[in-house]
Amino acid sequence: MLCLASLTFAWLEDITVTLWNLFLIGQSLEERCNRILRDMEGSLTARDRVGLQDFVLLEAYTSESAFLENLRKRFHENLIYTYIGTLLVSVNPYKELGIYTKKQMDIYMGVNLFELPPHIYALADNVYRTMLTESNNHFILISGESGAGKTEASKKILQFYAVSCPSTKLMDNVRDRLLLSNPVLEAFGNAKTLKNDNSSRFGKYMDIQFDHVGGAVGGHILSYLLEKSRVVHQNHGERNFHIFYQLVEGGEEDLLRWLGLQRNCQQYSYLVQGECAKVSSINDKTDWKTVRKALTVIEFSESNVESLFAIIASVLHLGNVKFIADSRGYATLNSSPEIHWLSKENATVLSPFTIDHAVYARDALAKAIYGRTFTWLVNMLNESLANKDSSRKTVIGLLDIYGFEVFNVNSFEQFCINYCNEKLQQLFIQLTLKSEQEEYEMEGIEWEPVPYFNNKIICDLVEEKFKGIIAVLDEECLRPGEATDMTFLEKLEEKMAGHPHFITQRDTFLTFCNLSLDHVLTIFHLQVMRQSKNAIVQLCFPTTEPDSKKRPETVATQFKSSLVGLTEILMSKEPWYVRCIKPNEGKQPGSFDDVLVRHQVKYLGLMEHLRVRRAGFAYRRRYQIFLQRYKPLCPDTWPNWKGTAAEGVQCLVKHLGFKPDEYKMGRTKIFIRHPRTLFATEDAFEVCKHELATRIQAKYKGYRVKGHYMRQREAATTIETCWRGLKARRERQKRAWAVKVIKKFIKGFMTRNQPVSVDNSEYLDYVRQNYLTRLKESLPKTVLDQNTWLTPPPIMKEASEMLRKLYTRYMVRKYIQGMTTERKAQLQIKGLTSSLFKGRKENYPHSVSRPFVDTRIKINVQTKVISFHAFPQYSVPVVKYDRNGFRPRFRQLIYTGTAAYLVEEAKIKQRVQFNQLKAMCVPLGVSVSNLSDNFFILHIQSEDIKQKGDLVLQCDHIFEALTKLCLVANKENCINVVQGSIKFDIQPGREGFVDFKSGQETMIYRAKNGHLMVV
Of 934, 923, 929, the closest CA to residue 997 belongs to 929
> By the 8 A CB rule, do 833 and 855 touch?
no
> By the 8 A CB rule, do 636 and 655 touch?
yes
The helix (run of H) or strand (run of E) holding residue 318 is helix 302-319
Rounded to whole angstroms, the maximal C-alpha distance in the chain is 163
Based on the residue annotation, tell me whether 151 is a catalytic residue of this protein. yes
- Active-site residue, from 151, 847, 896, 934: 151
- Active-site residue, from 189, 203, 274, 403: 403
Of 95, 52, 86, 58, the closest CA to residue 72 belongs to 52
- Active-site residue, from 82, 126, 143, 146: 146
Query: Distance between CA atoms of 836 and 926, rounded to whole angstroms?
Result: 12
Q: Are strands 87-91 and 574-581 parallel, antiparallel or unpaired?
A: parallel
- Active-site residue, from 82, 90, 181, 200: 200
The reply, when asked if residue 214 is annotated as ligand binding, is: no
3-state DSSP call for residue 402?
Answer: coil
Tell me the three-class secondary structure of 149-200, residue by residue.
Answer: CHHHHHHHHHHHHHHHCCCCHHHHHHHHHHHHHHHHHHHHHEECCCCCCCEE
- Active-site residue, from 152, 405, 443, 842: 405
> By the 8 A CB rule, do 506 and 341 touch?
no
> By the 8 A CB rule, do 432 and 426 touch?
no
Based on the residue annotation, tell me whether 147 is a catalytic residue of this protein. yes
In the chain, the amino acid numbered 426 is Q
The reply, when asked if residue 565 is annotated as ligand binding, is: no
Query: Distance between CA atoms of 933 and 930, rounded to whole angstroms?
Result: 8
3-state DSSP call for residue 928?
Answer: strand
Based on the residue annotation, tell me whether 199 is a catalytic residue of this protein. yes
The reply, when asked if residue 694 is annotated as ligand binding, is: no
Query: Distance between CA atoms of 934 and 189, rounded to whole angstroms?
Result: 110
Cβ density class 597-623: b for 16+ within 10 Å, e for less: bebbbebbbbbbbbbbbbbebbbbbeb
Residue 849 has what DSSP assignment?
Answer: T
Cα-based angle 408, 413, 417 (whole degrees, multiple of 5):
90
- Active-site residue, from 147, 219, 251, 748: 147
Q: In what order do the strands lie in the sheet with 1004-1006?
A: 981-987, 990-996, 1012-1014, 1004-1006
> By the 8 A CB rule, do 149 and 580 touch?
yes
Q: Alpha carbon of 889 to those of 592, 881, 909, 952: distances in Å?
A: 103, 6, 11, 11
Based on the residue annotation, tell me whether 198 is a catalytic residue of this protein. no
Based on the residue annotation, tell me whether 548 is a catalytic residue of this protein. no
The reply, when asked if residue 148 is annotated as ligand binding, is: yes
- Active-site residue, from 92, 196, 290, 929: 196
Based on the residue annotation, tell me whether 146 is a catalytic residue of this protein. yes
Of 319, 312, 150, the closest CA to residue 234 belongs to 319
User: Cα dihedral angle (218, 224, 228, 230), rounded to 10 degrees?
Assistant: -90
Rg (CA), the chain: 56
Based on the residue annotation, tell me whether 219 is a catalytic residue of this protein. no
Residue 388 CA, distance from chain mean position: 43
The reply, when asked if residue 146 is annotated as ligand binding, is: yes
Based on the residue annotation, tell me whether 446 is a catalytic residue of this protein. no
CA neighbours closer than 13 Å in the CB half-sphere of residue 54: 25
Cα-based angle 131, 135, 138 (whole degrees, multiple of 5):
40
Query: Distance between CA atoms of 129 and 817, rounded to whole angstroms?
Result: 84
3-state DSSP call for residue 876?
Answer: strand
- 168 Cβ contact partners less than 8 Å away, ≥ 6 residues apart: 215
The reply, when asked if residue 147 is annotated as ligand binding, is: yes
Residue 422 CA, distance from chain mean position: 43
- Beta bridge partner(s), residue 875: 855, 894
Query: Cis link prior to 93 (omega < 30° from 0)?
Result: no
Query: Distance between CA atoms of 603 and 455, rounded to whole angstroms?
Result: 11
Query: Distance between CA atoms of 131 and 243, rounded to whole angstroms?
Result: 36
The reply, when asked if residue 151 is annotated as ligand binding, is: yes
941, burial (CB in 10 Å: exposed 0-12, middle 13-18, buried 19+): middle
Enumerate the known binding-site residues. 144-151
Enumerate the known binding-site residues for ATP. 144-151
Q: Which residues are annotated as catalytic? A: 146-147, 151, 196, 199-200, 403, 405
